[in-house]
Chains A and B, each alone.
Chain A
Amino acid sequence: MQASRARLFKEYKEVQREKTADPDIQLVCDDSNIFKWTALIKGPSETPYEGGVFQLAFAVPEQYPLQPPQVRFLTKIFHPNVHFKTGEICLDILKNAWSPAWTLQSVCRAIIALMAHPEPDSPLNCDSGNLLRSGDMRGFQSMARMYTRLAAMPKKG
């Protein structure tokens, strides 16, 4: 409990110090609860998610960093490894491959990498996975781009 709090506080200070270090990630802590974080990540370039800003919700357990944080997308995203309704993320480092050496910042980076390199063989979004596995890149990209435009881009006008 105390260790996780101390660690999160240090991470918070680190984030504040290196705010401009990674322009694709904006990590903010809840004002009242240091175990609740939200992150805004930019969709990687040359992907259908380019131009979109996706919101992530972190729920940090008290055993952190020995236990991984629970991360999910608050922004709707069409991605084979993200549950379309709940926003749950299928990522090994958030499950069994977690290491205490990871930070919330590095988790955000891993999620950006996952957006750029989807794993259709372990899908949470079966439609998306099926499109990719069937080789319909055009269908997948247009669907993903549409949802990016719908959910992850600021409304024009």
Chain B
Amino acid sequence: MESDSISHTSPPSASNCKDISRKKRVGTSLSCFHFHFRFLIFFIDVLFFVVDFQRSAKLKQCKLDARREQWLSQSAVKNKVCCKEGTNDGDSKQTQRGERDRSLENFEMRGTAEANGEVENVSVQHESDSESFPPNSHTSSSLLGGMDSGTSFTNSSSSSTSSGGCCSGSITEEEGGDGCLDDWEAVADALAADDDKQELDPNENNKENLCLGSTPGLEPNPQLGSNGEGSDLKNSEPECPRMVQRATGTCRAWRADDTFRPQTLPNLSKQRSFPATDRRFGQGGVSWMRNSAFSVPSSCPICYEDLDFTDSSFLPCLCGFRLCLFCHKRILEEDGRCPGCRKPYENDPVEAEASVQGGSLTTRLLARSCSMIARS
């Protein structure tokens, strides 16, 4: 079944990797074997028929025996070789398939070779892309990290150009990996959409594998870091849809940003994650201290429902009174006072930060200063 579906996907893509072709070969050889077995039985029947009616022609029978032997051996060889030459329609179809497999392999090899050859070009191109494409992450990171992050960025880009060779090696390794089997359909669709980018497709596949393989939590994505930092700075207002969006955004950024993430990322993360992680650890420590100081309740004191992770990290009031997001919303709709201290909630700064969340630090600071002014 699988081999059929593969063969029906119209343009044989370069990203169909060795595993698929291997699988296909196994499938075709199986069907080939089946066919030959049946043909053999039929042949033997015919043989006995001939033997019954032409007993006198023993010489012919000897010949037939010889031919049978020959045929048997030939078919055995064919079974091994996976039906390279066909004798009838089914065989010819299967040979086409086999040839396609081989051509696929060749093309794939060529593709990887091209990828190896074009590593530097691609990396350069993607650097220009990354410089132009996601302005948010870079501006925010540079703003957050100050001068250091700027230098780190240039460093990382230069290292990415220099370390192209190693990258190609990793790509060829990844090609044979199992991860590509998971989303070969998606890759095939993407390939069907545009045939122009076929040289980049091994890289695409590689990227997909990396995306799948690396856990999002451990993924040292600069954009994720900056966003996470923003949320930590806010220290509240966690929303599931936004988190999901953020996750997909990082995935997209990962894909569009750079094909050679595995090489450049360590540098980038090393440079960027030092202040980021420090800050995050500091924030975490502070929030943890706060939690321990105010002893986070396991359930919302208003509705008595259990607090989930987002609720327990939600601190709407300076007095430290915690409640779930639903109750907070209901209270905001009613009288808008904190149940703990009975002071009106200052929901404006939180919302302003939420709206600016994706933006740069300056706007966030601006919003905060605005809210400070409004408060005073």
Contacts and interface: CB of A to CB of B under 8 A. Distances in A.
Contacts of A21: none
Interface string B293-320: 0000000011111000000000000000
A65 B342 contact: no
A3 B334 contact: no
Interface of B: 301-305, 321, 326-327, 330-331, 334-335, 337, 339-340, 342
23 contacts: A3-B330, A6-B303, A6-B304, A6-B305, A7-B302, A7-B303, A7-B304, A10-B303, A10-B304, A11-B304, A14-B304, A63-B334, A66-B331, A66-B334, A97-B342, A99-B339, A99-B342, A100-B301, A100-B302, A100-B327, A100-B339, A101-B302, A101-B339
Closest 7 CB pairs of A and B: A10-B304, A101-B339, A99-B339, A100-B339, A100-B302, A66-B334, A101-B301
A104 B334 CA distance: 20
Interface in A1-58: 3, 6-7, 10-11, 14
Contacts of B301: 100-101
Contacts of A63: 334
Nearest to B338: A99
Contacts of B304: 6-7, 10-11, 14
A124 B301 CA distance: 32
Nearest to B333: A66
Given A6-B304, A10-B304, A11-B304, A100 B342 contact: no
State the majority secondary structure of interface residues on B: loop
A99 B340 contact: yes
A100 B336 CA distance: 11
A101 B322 CA distance: 10
Nearest to B302: A100
B329 to A, nearest CB: 11
B144 to A, nearest CB: 37
Interface in A78-100: 97, 99-100
Given A99-B340, A100-B327, A101-B340, A65 B334 contact: no
Given A6-B304, A66-B330, 17 more contacts: A6-B305, A7-B302, A7-B303, A7-B304, A10-B304, A14-B304, A63-B334, A66-B331, A66-B334, A66-B335, A99-B337, A99-B339, A100-B301, A100-B331, A101-B302, A101-B321, A101-B340
Contacts of A11: 304
A98 to B, nearest CB: 9
A95 to B, nearest CB: 12
Contacts of B321: 101
B337 to A, nearest CB: 8
Contacts of B303: 3, 6-7, 10, 65
Contacts of A3: 303, 326, 330
A58 B337 CA distance: 24
Nearest to A97: B342
B318 to A, nearest CB: 16
Contacts of A66: 330-331, 334-335
Nearest to B305: A6
Nearest to B340: A101
A6 B304 CA distance: 8
Contacts of A10: 303-304
B326 to A, nearest CB: 8
A100 B345 CA distance: 14
B373 to A, nearest CB: 29
A45 B369 CA distance: 54
A99 to B, nearest CB: 4
A14 B303 CA distance: 13
A133 B304 CA distance: 42
A65 B300 CA distance: 12
A119 to B, nearest CB: 19
Contacts of B335: 66
Contacts of B330: 3, 66
A102 to B, nearest CB: 8
A3 B327 CA distance: 9
B314 to A, nearest CB: 16
Chain B CB within 10 A, most for which of A11, A63, A101: A101
A127 B230 CA distance: 61
Nearest to B321: A101
A42 B226 CA distance: 59
A3 B330 CA distance: 10
A97 B343 CA distance: 10
Nearest to A65: B302
